[in-house]
Structure 1
Amino acid sequence: MKFVSRIGVAVLLLHSFVSQSALAQTQLTYTTSWIGNSFGFGDGKWMQQDIQAISVGADGTVYTNAPWDESGSEIAAYRAGGKIAVAGSTHGWGNTGGDAVATNHTYLYAAMSIGNESNGLVGADYPPANQTWFGITRRTLANLATGAPFDGGRGNSANASRNSFLRLNAVTTGTDAGIRGMAATDTELYVADTYNSRIVVLDAASMRRLRSWNVPSPGRIALDTDSTLWVISGVSSGNLSILHYAADGAALSGTLALPAGTVPTDIAIAPSGQILVADNGPAQQILVFDRHAGGQPRAVAPIGTRDGLFHMVKGVPGNWRFNGITGLGVDPAGNLYVAQNGEGPRPLGSASVGQGAVLESYVLGTHAFNWRLYGLTFVDSAAFDPATPNSVYTGSKRFTLDYRRPVGQEWSYAGFTLDRFDYPDDPAFHEPRGVRGEPMVRRIDGRRYLYTLDPGAHYLNVYRFDAAHGEVAIPSGLLAQNPLPGSWPAGQPTYGEWLWRDSNGNGTVDASEITGNPSTGSTVGNGFWWVDTPGNVWLATPTSGIREMPLQGLDSAGNPIYTYASSKMFAMPQPFTRIARIVYIAATDTMYITGFTSAIPWDPTHWKEAGPVLARYDNWSTGTPTQQYSISLPWNTQSNPQTTTVGVAVAGNYIFVAELYTAKVDVYDTRTGQAIGYMTPGASVGNTSGWVDVYLGISAVQRDNGEYVVLLEDDARAKILMYRWTP
């Protein structure tokens, strides 16, 4: 590596140091909007971030369930494209939602679990130490927020759902004993006890056990018009089939013959008597089976575009282009309801929340479109394509913006960039949370590239695009500060930094394509990645300065080339003792740094923060940078909520600093460091947002008309917050 003298840097810094205590006290005049959710929360509504199961009522109400929604909408109700209810009491204090839901004319039955939050919760409402309960919560359809208690019911004694939880399994914490299927009549409730490989039948009113029978790891259940049951079997093994049973558990003939490659995820019965099966295999369709007298159900033409969202043009959403079906339902009028999360049902033992929720409805007979709802982003920030401020990328989505449209309607869902079928080796699937997030979009030689960070900013993923793959981002490279846990990928070093470049262009991480860092062999740990406009990669190490890996061109497959041998190291400048964030503007050779100083040192309780100080350095790459100013950012760890910073963006003449807990963006002049004002969420989003909870959670752009558009992660309600401000 090439090193720049730290002594030279320090001398020039002392000559140019201008300290400013710049707190933005004036609220600016701006517009608040959002991207990626059908509701902004201005009316108190939001579309949940994941749907694992649905049940459809006779009036077309769709009831949902998922283990987790950040704002507590695990169990909710939707009708005619609107959100009408949230159940509550399935979020926090040990409670989570689940993977199954059923309704009859009176009750909603939903899978859920109750834990004790690392043995911190005690009492009759909670399991004993090191144990988790899995079971069913019962609610009235008239008021989902109110539990429907029964003898033997337990849990939540301090809220409206008290004594309405039935414990089915009590297991060691860390074991997934969740219910994966349910179906109900007005008299009986059928429950797939996946963990114990049995179907359990309960009295729908008393919740007492009536009978049970063995089925190999059962999943979704559909009640047929003749009161028989269709059951997905083999959830634990992955060897999935659909079995047929009488209501008393007797095995019946007429099992469904599934095409090769089918991954059945749900079953529904149409008013015509047709059996519908959701296929989360590569076909991404709904299989249809007709009945004929005395014979096996017979497959007829499936519903939906073959290959779903990955039909040509790949990644482009549209009607009947499914992507990860998790739930099916049909109402008596023949309306079809399809829930998707870009992934499919949560694997056993996984904490996945999917890749963004979609709930849509069609008319079965005519295939006419009814309505659609989106909850597309979670722990996912957004960034602009430098070629146009009308195109925005998140980790796995692309949106187009029409700034002429009303607040909350500027965005259109244009692309899903993550392809689990063509590129199962995408590093995003193997990194923490199994999703892409925190994007940077760059144009190199006119070509578009996507760079993304994992939530902890340990790994920098590189993606390229080509016409043949449409909206799909093709895995191109990976720069890792340390080895990934587990056995993937083969060939990574056991210790220290490494990088991968897809030199053969197949989108697979081959061991021969992995290079370790020969200079140190050690991990740099907890640094922050930045990619500048020309495509050079910068790594801000916490205590060892800043490293540049200059772009070495593109290889024959179109991948950016980076090498450790060509790296340059820049010493940490004063006044910093720990660097947290950087933004380098190559056009002006300007480096913006935030972090900690000896006056306010870093402490591990603020591991994700951007720090209390921001400084600008000119002539950065010369080795003798000049500090133009140093700003004291908002910082008070004794307040409630705490005031700390988490993200930095620079566009045009302004710096935008996101605060972590206070839903506030502070704005500074890039030229002087002077505070200009601040922005907070407006009425269109309920005057609130979730935390900006990732390292690169804010971005900004200046449009040709002078307007600034600032995008922030909203960790609470499955959207990207958008501010529009004209100075």
Structure 2
Amino acid sequence: MKWLHRISLSVAALCAAVSPGASAQTQPTYETSWIGNSFGFGDGKWVQLDVEAISVGSDGTVYTNAPWDESGSEVGAYKGGSKVAVAGNTHGWGNAGGDAVASNGTYLYAGMSIGNESNALVGSDYPPSNTTWYGITRRLVSNIATGAPFASGIGNSANVTKNSFLRENAVPTGTDASIRGLAASATELYVANTYANQIEVDDANTMRRLRSWAVPSPGRILIDTDGTLWIIQGLQGATGRSIVHYSTAGALIGSAVSLPSGTVPVDLAISPSGQLLVADGGASQQILLYNKTASGQTSLAGQLGTRNGIFHVTTGVPGDWRFNGITGIGFDASGNLYVAQNGFGPRAFGSVFDGEGTVLESYAWSSQALNWRLYGLTFVDGGSFDPAEPASVFSGSKHFSLDYRQTQPGQEWSYAGFTLDRFQYPDDPALHLPKGVRGEPMVRRVNGSLLLYTIDMYSHYLSIYRFNAAAEGQVAIPSGLFAENPIPGSWPSGQPSYGEWMWRDANGDGHVDASEIQANPSSGNAPEDGFWWVDSQGNIWLGMLGSGIRELPLQGFDAYGNPVYTYASAKTYAMPQPFSRVARIVYDASSDAMYVSGYTSAYPYDSSHWKAAGRLLVRYDNWSSGTPQARYTIMLPWNVTADPQQTPVGVAVAGNYIFVAELYTDRVDVYDVRNGQQVGYMKPGTSVGGTSGWVDVYLGISAVERSTGEYVVLVEDDARAKILMYRWTP
């Protein structure tokens, strides 16, 4: 049965309640901190959001590469637990990073691509219409921000990397022809041209082609101490991956390395004792050790790291030698081992970004003791507080523990858990939904049960997770999913071809079965881009753009601990006056107050600002009574002629205050929840470099009032792989 609640209040009466607080421009006394990155950017450093490949210099400098880092650190350098350089000119103006990197003491070679920004960039530096170039940028090891030009080099004529790009593949835009392996000696550069199914050998100094030979879908290349090559092949195709041994002329040596069943080789290294190391991206999440014979044969001698890595008991708990998505391994001249991880493994073909955050570690080979570890754990990912413990914060796929006694910014947080188990739960919606990250979190405690609700960047889907700490440790078990429309592609099997639908894990196995999918029999497609919200009682709300607001009350829990919802129990609320379009909603069940932001006929929606939270915010009291009353209206910050533009994007309510994040300006506006008056605003402090990235998601802000009276506000930082944290005691 559906219920229709109407709100009757004249526009004139509502406008009379408009808060004049928007004129307040004061900054309260607060502290800026952050969660999820080893550096805050106050020192000019940040750990990039993804590492797809590493090359380790003899001095312990770790060079990294990835197709994308929001602030342009696709190619970076780390040493001794610190970040020491950013290559630059691998981001924007058609440039992107890549999936391979190598160094030889003189030059750094990194895979990258050059596009033309949808044919907007023209000239000799850019590919022709509808074409993308994939190749290698060569830089000086002495200064990786400076190109090392060569006679046949092209591109980047407007900056310091002029004529330092080697074009390997020119392909139709949308085709993934990325270089997936590089290795360099003092005289030769070995290139795994995966797209062309060949190994290419170039002069390391002139960059001219010396020779090549066919290898099926090659990937990582390792130069052994005797100059021969170990190559991972079969990255694409039905035969699977293998590791083969070649001479530098392309002749096979011995037979392929015998890999344990289920092994997915992702990178190679030679240990100080001469053993071949194979990083396994399969379920073992270990590094395999192989002895070698003079004839080129290998035999498995052991494993490094905890079996199943971070997914060993206690599942999801990070720690030494508990690997999670290895993307690169290597040694320096002193025998230190370096391991790069991104929580997923090397990027899938055709994707832009698969990573779940960077972990970069160094271990002493002799003692196996940890030397140092760096984190860059969050991207387009917010934080939400456990209502039972404000020192416990969840992002979409991470769990952080906070120690509020710490006085140095960035020192409050520690990494407590990785909650996404791709091996145990391959049907986790996070692995299938667009954008490839679990999304913005809402943590709720309902009848003692800990639940995690997440939405994607733009609120198309609402995913539900439950926890079973005794059996699953830190892992969030897929429990349910709401889709406003059918999900593009073939997953999941059994979804309707039209209309909204929900899934509940009725048999408790965490997998999506066709029999567990329920379509809405009456409403057809839900409004696209509606905004999901879950209240403290576990009731689900959907702000339906131009159609009002809908509630799906929690119907209890099934035998497996999954929250139960039905379309039959839905309640629909008409569009509250004076709104013509709902953008965000926050329902406070404890006070029966609904906070709605959006647009009116007087302040209409403009599709060019489709991410915005609207022009005004209204608090309605007695929402569930059937006759709610508008208590006040707040005119939200809005100046689209400013530079940067001033528009709101996210709303959070905690205690006596409303916090509104602005999209472009680094600013959080603070209002009194009792009367709507603005009490000030917060902006990033010096500890984070006085800046943040755009709040590029619909649910990019959350807040909590601690028992001490302190307010803690979390804001997604799109730029530098972290979550901003403001600490304020009124």
Structure-1-length-normalised TM-score: 0.99
Question: 1:362-381, aligned counterparts within 5 Å?
Answer: 362-381=363-382
Which amino acid is 1:439 matched to? P
TM-aligned CA deviation for residue 254 of structure 1: 4.5
**Cα gap change, 1:115/1:16 in structure 2, threshold over 3 Å: closer, same or farther?**
closer
Provide, for residues 299-330 of structure 1, a one-character-per-residue CA deviation record: whole Å limited to 9, x for no partner.
Answer: 11100000000000000000000000000101
CA 1:380–1:519 in structure 2 vs 1: closer, same or farther (change >3 Å)? same
Q: Does 1:589 align with 2:613?
A: no
Q: Does 1:346 align with 2:347?
A: yes
Find the residue that maps to 2:450 and give its secondary structure: strand
Report the alpha carbon displacement of residue 10 of structure 1 after superposing the two structures with TM. Answer: 3.2
Equivalent position amino acid for 1:656 in 2: F
Deviation per residue, 1:226-280 (Å, 9 max, x gap): 1000000001126100000001111110531110000000001112111100001
| 1:559-638 pair list within 5 angstroms | 559-638=562-641
Query: Any conservation in 2 of the 1:698–1:713 contact (CA below 8 Å)?
Result: yes
Residue-by-residue CA offset, 1:35-61 (whole Å, 9 max, x unaligned): 000000001100000000000001000
Q: State the Cα RMSD in Å.
A: 1.2
Q: Tell whether 2:554 aligns with 1:531.
A: no
The alignment covers a number of residue pairs equal to 726
> Which residue type is aligned with residue 482 of structure 2?
L
* Corresponding position of 1:334: 335
- Report if aligned partners of 2:254, 2:295 keep a CA contact under 8 Å in 1: no
In structure 2, the residue matched to 1:429 is 431
Describe the superposition over 1:517-538 as per-residue Cα deviations: whole angstroms up to 9, x where unpaired: 1121233221000000010000
2:8 maps to a residue whose letter is V
User: Does the CA contact (< 8 Å) of 1:496 and 1:524 recur in 2?
Assistant: no
Could you say what secondary structure the match of 1:432 adopts?
A: coil
In the aligned structure 2, how far is the partner of 1:370 from the partner of 1:361?
5
Q: Residue 38 of structure 2: SS of its match in structure 1?
A: coil
| Aligned mates of 2:294, 2:82 — CA distance in 1 | 40
Shift of 1:17: 5.0
Structural mapping, 1:197-216, within 5 Å: 197-216=197-216
CA separation in 1, counterparts of 2:489 and 2:396? Answer: 23
Residue 465 of structure 2 is matched in structure 1 by: 463
Q: Deviations over 1:150-196 (max 9, x none)?
A: 00101110001010000011111111111000100000000001011
Between the aligned partners of 2:573 and 2:16, the Cα distance in structure 1 is 19
Q: Which residue of 1 aligns with 2:227?
A: 227
Structure 2: distance between partners of 1:82 and 1:562: 48
How far has the Cα of 1:5 moved from its partner?
Answer: 4.5
Letter in 2 for 1:679: M
Deviates more, 1:709-718 or 1:603-612: 603-612
Q: C-alpha separation between the residues in 1 aligned to 2:457 and 2:246?
A: 45
Unpaired stretches in structure 1, ≥5 consecutive residues: none
Instruction: Please give the alpha-carbon distance, in whole angstroms, between the structure 1 residues aligned to 2:174 and 2:528.
Output: 28
Distance 1:174 1:57 in 2: 33
1:405-444 mapped onto 2 (5 Å cutoff): 405=406, 406-444=408-446
Which stretch of the first structure deviates more once superposed, 344-353 or 612-621? 344-353
* Residues 15 and 338 (structure 1), Cα distance of their counterparts in 2 relative to 1, 3 Å cut: closer
CA distance in 2: counterparts of 1:599 and 1:679, whole angstroms: 29
TM-score normalised by length of structure 2: 0.98
1:89-104 → structure 2 map (5 Å cutoff): 89-104=89-104
Alpha-carbon distance change, 261 to 667 in structure 1, aligned in 2, over 3 angstroms: same
Q: Does residue 691 of the first structure (1) align with residue 688 of the second (2)?
A: no
Task: Determine the structure 1 residue equivalent to 2:300.
Answer: 299
Equivalent AA in structure 2 for residue 356 of structure 1: G
8 Å Cα contact 1:57-1:331 kept in structure 2 = yes
Amino acid at match of 1:132: T
Mapping of 1:233-252 within 5 angstroms? 233-237=233-237, 239-252=240-253
CA deviation vs aligned residue, 1:426-475 (integer Å, no higher than 9, x gap): 11111111211110001111010000001110100000010200000000
Extract structure 1 runs of 4+ deviating beyond 4 A: none
1:644 maps to what in 2? 647
Per the alignment, in what secondary structure is the counterpart of residue 491 of structure 1?
coil
| Matching residue of 2:279 | 278
- Distance of 2:160 and 2:294 partners within structure 1: 49
Aligned with 1:78: secondary structure? strand
Code of the aligned partner of 1:390:
A
Counterpart contact for 1:75–1:88, Cα < 8 Å: yes
Between the aligned partners of 1:517 and 1:165, the Cα distance in structure 2 is 54
Q: Tell me what 1:152 maps to.
A: 152
Partner of 1:497: 500
Aligned 1:162-201 pairs, distance under 5 A: 162-201=162-201
User: Does the aligned pair in 1 maintain the 2:527–2:544 contact within 8 Å?
Assistant: yes
Q: In 1, distance between residues paired with 2:629 and 2:346? A: 54
Query: 1:622-667: per-residue Cα shift (whole Å, max 9, x none)?
Result: 1100111001011011111110000000000000000000000000
Shift of 1:591: 0.4
Among 500, 516, 520, which residue is 2:519 paired with?
516
**Structure 1 residue 22 corresponds to structure 2 residue 21:** yes
Instruction: Look up the SS of the partner of 1:433 in the other structure.
Output: coil
Code of the aligned partner of 1:146: T
Tell me how far apart the structure 2 counterparts of residues 63 and 12 of structure 1 sit (CA, whole Å): 60
Query: Which of 534, 539, 549 does residue 552 from structure 2 map onto?
Result: 549
SS in 2 for 1:434: coil
Q: Is the 8 A contact 1:240 1:263 kept in 2?
A: yes
| Aligned CA distance change for structure 1 residues 143 and 12 (closer, same or farther; 3 Å) | closer
Matched residue SS, 2:498: coil
Structure 2, gaps ≥5 residues long? none
Cα offset, 1:20, TM superposition: 2.1
**CA apart distance, 1:293:** 4.5
Work out whether 1:484 is the aligned partner of 2:487. yes
In the TM superposition, residue 347 of structure 1 has moved relative to its aligned partner by: 1.1
> Paired residue for 1:325?
326
Aligned partners of 1:261, 1:444: CA distance in 2, in Å? Answer: 40
8 A contact 1:17–1:627 mirrored in 2: no
User: Is the 1:265–1:278 Cα contact (8 Å) retained in structure 2?
Assistant: yes
Find the residue that maps to 2:9 and give its secondary structure: helix
Q: Deviations over 1:525-558 (max 9, x none)?
A: 2100000001000000001111010000001111
